[in-house]
Amino acid sequence: MLIRDNETANYSEVKGSTHLFKSVDSEIETGSNVKQTSESNYRIGKITARIPFVFEHDFKSWNIEDDLSDNRDTLKSEAKDIPTGEKLTSKNNPVKTIRNLYFQDEFITPELRTGINLLEISQNYITKSLESIQHRKRKESDEFIMQFKAFLPELFCCRTISESFGAVINAIQNALSNMKGCPLSEKQIVALHEIITGLLREPAMSFEKAVDYVSKFEDADFEVESVGVEGLLKLTEIMDEDETELIND
Amino acid sequence: MIKSKAFVDTAILTNRLIKFREEKKEAKDALAKYEITELPVYAIKEFKAGPLDYVKYLYNKLLETESIGLTIIALTNNFRQKNKQATSLKLIGELLEEVKTSRTNSNLKAKYGRLADEESISYDSVKLETKLLVYKAWKKRRTVTTTVVQPLSCYHEKAPCEEKNGQLSLKPNKCETDNCCLTEKLKDKRFDVTKLKVAIDKLESALKTKPENVKRQKILREINSKSNVKISNSDCRNLGDAVFALFCPVDADILTTNIKDHKPLANALGKTVVSPQQILGNTTKLTKI
């Protein structure tokens, strides 16, 4: 059994930051039978593995084969113990093996690690909030949102993950701040769940994709702009008004 | 009587896409009152070259100064009307206060250092929001009305992009020709053009001498008097409100926040101008009459 990269060629087509999903391929072929089965589960041969790794890397200059050859023997010895078709557990998870080999600490920034962890916790709170509001427990639902809100400042500190990550977290912070403490509606909690899930799936999504997420989020009656930008824009506009009045005078 | 169709002007598009709170809500609610809302591409062109360009300018200025404080100084340098700054500075102050009280704390500062610093958070927050606003507004421009009408063959709607130095660019924000596609259409409307010229002549002195009316009058006169007139990009921009009066369908209202400037022109051609406040005063949805 060999360990191969999953569709390496595709990575070079992605501009800037991108996702990297590593997989074990029981058929030796390069990633051809790796399919996404749900948001974060990937089917690899007959094994379903959860792939939680996302990081930024310049794939154009990275030779995966060189990297593989250094670790091929280790990979073989660790991976051969996983019979094809066996249910994946935390003990035999090949992704863990690969994580140790390929997702070296220098690749994963502390911000990315923290960001992913905090997003998972956030997603959990929002799911609970959604369940509560669906059971007409409005106060309980709001309490879960308040707990989620407490993570936003730290999530924004993880903005080095990507510009999109920062922009999305900032939009959520502004939106919740503009709610001025009013409990969220079910429609808004669903939108919040969607945007956090999207960010968890792709913390380094393209900026265009971040725009899509925020636009959709905004449609759930959220105001994602802050008073600060409003003030700065007013100043920018006054610049020209001032000039016009100068001409008129 | 208010009609069932609205011909949306640049001010409404601007309020819906890049303004805040009440102005944005008012534009959204007013548009929702109409059964049909039409946005001419001319409004998109004006929006990109004007209001959206301010947002882009702000982003680029933030990028250049790398500080909110320095950006404010740059924007207000040589400002004569100090009283107008007050509201803006108050709003900026509110954001800075919020960042200080609820977007960072000593634990985060200890863990993340500069990334958790108030100044860094405020700056990055404003910068990211401004960039997002540019892209979001552009993406949504064709979704605020039920239809987008009257395409301009000489104008290419190119999305904002980032230059190598990170600055945003909205180019092209003008027509790529020295003879605008509106030329022939305006020649066909010479009778209406004359009416607009007369309407501007009749305006009270203060309005008539406004720079925009002076420029508009000049190009209207040229269209009327020269058979081989060519409309350049700046002529096209200077026509401004006259384009809405000339090309608004007879069964539609011109929906605008700028009643004062639009009304004399629209009325000269027997067309109606309505503001969001007037629409929102009307409690029922406007259906075909």
* Facing residue for A214 by CB, picked from B81, B88, B136: B136
User: Are the C-beta atoms of A21 and A49 separated by less than 8 Å?
Assistant: no
CB contact under 8 A, B130 and A229: yes
- What percent of chain B stands above pLDDT 70? 96
- What percent of chain A stands above pLDDT 90? 50
Question: Which are the contacts of A17, defined by CB distance < 8 A and separation ≥ 6?
Answer: A56, A57, A162, A204
Give pLDDT, residue A107. Answer: 63
Residue A62 pLDDT > 70: no
Tokens 């596609």, residue located: B181
User: Are the C-beta atoms of A17 and A96 separated by less than 8 Å?
Assistant: no
**More confident position, A4 or B192:** B192
CB contact under 8 A, B87 and A228: no
Element (H, E) at A239: helix A227-248
Give pLDDT, residue A131. Answer: 97
Chain A residues touching B136 at Cβ < 8 A: 211, 214-215, 218
Helix (H, G, I), strand (E, B) or coil at B254: strand
Domain with B117, as residue range(s), is 5-280
How far is Cα B72 from Cα A73, in angstroms, rounded to an integer? 60
What is the residue-wise DSSP string for B9-62? -HHHHHHHHH--HHHHHHHHHHHHHBSEEEEEHHHHHHHHHTHHHHHHHHHHHH
Residue A70 pLDDT > 90: no
CB contact under 8 A, B124 and A223: no
In a domain, B81, yes or no: yes
B120 touches chain A (CB under 8 A): no
Q: What are phi and psi of B66, to 5 degrees?
A: 55, 25
E-strand ranges in chain A read 2-5, 22-25, 34-36, 41-44, 47-50
Torsion of Cα atoms, B236 then B238 then B242 then B246, to 10°: -10
> B277: pLDDT confidence band, cut at 50, 70 and 90?
very high
Chain A residues touching B212 at Cβ < 8 A: none
Give pLDDT, residue B224. Answer: 87
Q: At what angle do helices B118-140 and A163-178 cross, to 10 degrees?
A: 90
In a domain, B285, yes or no: no
A238 touches chain B (CB under 8 A): yes
Residue A41 pLDDT > 50: no
CB contact under 8 A, A170 and B72: no
Question: What is the tens place of the pLDDT at every residue in B73-121?
Answer: 998 886 766 677 888 888 899 989 989 889 999 999 999 999 999 999 9
* Facing residue for B21 by CB, picked from A153, A154, A223: A223
CB contact under 8 A, B71 and A232: yes
Give pLDDT, residue A245. Answer: 54
Cis bond leading into B172, ω under 30°? yes
Chain A residues touching B134 at Cβ < 8 A: none
How far is Cα B5 from Cα A245, in angstroms, rounded to an integer? 36
Give pLDDT, residue A20. Answer: 37
Q: What are phi and psi of B104, to 5 degrees?
A: -155, 165
How far is Cα B68 from Cα A228, in angstroms, rounded to an integer? 10
Give pLDDT, residue A238. Answer: 85
In a domain, B287, yes or no: no
> A106: pLDDT confidence band, cut at 50, 70 and 90?
low
* Facing residue for B132 by CB, picked from A153, A211, A227: A211
A150 touches chain B (CB under 8 A): no
In a domain, B137, yes or no: yes
CB contact under 8 A, A233 and B81: no
A80, HSE (Cβ side, Cα atoms, 13 Å): 7
Residues 125-184 of chain B with CB under 8 A from chain A are 125-126, 128-133, 135-136, 139-140
> A207: pLDDT confidence band, cut at 50, 70 and 90?
very high
A206 touches chain B (CB under 8 A): no
Question: Which are the contacts of B84, defined by CB distance < 8 A and separation ≥ 6?
Answer: A238, A241, A242
CB contact under 8 A, A157 and B130: no
How far is Cα B13 from Cα B19, in angstroms, rounded to an integer? 9
Sign of CA dihedral B80, B86, B91, B97: positive
How far is Cα B136 from Cα A217, in angstroms, rounded to an integer? 12
CB contact under 8 A, A225 and B129: yes
From the CA of B233, how many Å to the nearest CA of chain A?
20
* Facing residue for A167 by CB, picked from B18, B84, B132: B132
Residue B4 pLDDT > 70: yes
**More confident position, A19 or A12:** A19
A195 touches chain B (CB under 8 A): no
Q: Which residue of A has its CA nearest to B98?
A: A177
Give pLDDT, residue A215. Answer: 97
In a domain, B124, yes or no: yes
Rounded to an integer, the average pLDDT of B277-283 is 82
> A9: pLDDT confidence band, cut at 50, 70 and 90?
very low
CB contact under 8 A, A214 and B128: no
Rounded to an integer, the average pLDDT of B266-277 is 96
How far is Cα A76 from Cα A1, in angstroms, rounded to an integer? 6
Residue A89 pLDDT > 70: no
Rounded to an integer, the average pLDDT of B139-157 is 95
Give pLDDT, residue A10. Answer: 30
How far is Cα B273 from Cα B264, in angstroms, rounded to an integer? 9
| Number of domain units in chain B | 1
Question: What is the tens place of the pLDDT at every residue in A138-168?
Answer: 999 999 999 999 999 999 999 999 999 999 9
Torsion of Cα atoms, A162 then A164 then A165 then A166, to 10°: 90
Angle among Cα B237, B240, B246 to the nearest 5 degrees reads: 125
Give pLDDT, residue B282. Answer: 64
CB contact under 8 A, A228 and B84: no
Kindly state the tokens that stand for B33. Answer: 């009152």
* Facing residue for A159 by CB, picked from B71, B124, B136: B124
Highest mean pLDDT among A17-26, A80-89, B74-83 belongs to B74-83
For chain A, the C-alpha Rg in angstroms (whole number) is 22
Torsion of Cα atoms, A38 then A44 then A48 then A52, to 10°: -60
User: Are the C-beta atoms of B31 and B8 separated by less than 8 Å?
Assistant: yes
Chain B residues touching A239 at Cβ < 8 A: 75, 79
Chain B residues touching A208 at Cβ < 8 A: 135
Q: At what angle do helices A163-178 and A207-218 cross, to 10 degrees?
A: 10
Rounded to an integer, the average pLDDT of B151-179 is 91
A177 touches chain B (CB under 8 A): yes
Query: Beta A41-44 vs B161-162: how paired, if at all?
Result: unpaired
B75 touches chain A (CB under 8 A): yes
B108 touches chain A (CB under 8 A): yes
**Long-range CB contact pairs, B159-162, < 8 A, 24+:** B159/B135, B160/B52, B160/B56, B160/B134, B160/B135
Question: What is the tens place of the pLDDT at every residue in B219-239?
Answer: 999 998 888 888 888 899 999
- List the one residue out of B90, B143, B158 whose CA is nearest residue A218: B143
How far is Cα A48 from Cα A95, in angstroms, rounded to an integer? 10
Residue B49 pLDDT > 80: yes
A223 touches chain B (CB under 8 A): yes
Give pLDDT, residue A52. Answer: 39
B228 touches chain A (CB under 8 A): no
Round to the nearest angstrom and report the end-to-end CA distance of chain A.
Answer: 82
How far is Cα A23 from Cα A103, in angstroms, rounded to an integer? 12
What does pLDDT average to over chain B? Answer: 92
Q: Which residue of A has its CA nearest to B80?
A: A242
* Facing residue for A227 by CB, picked from B71, B91, B115: B91
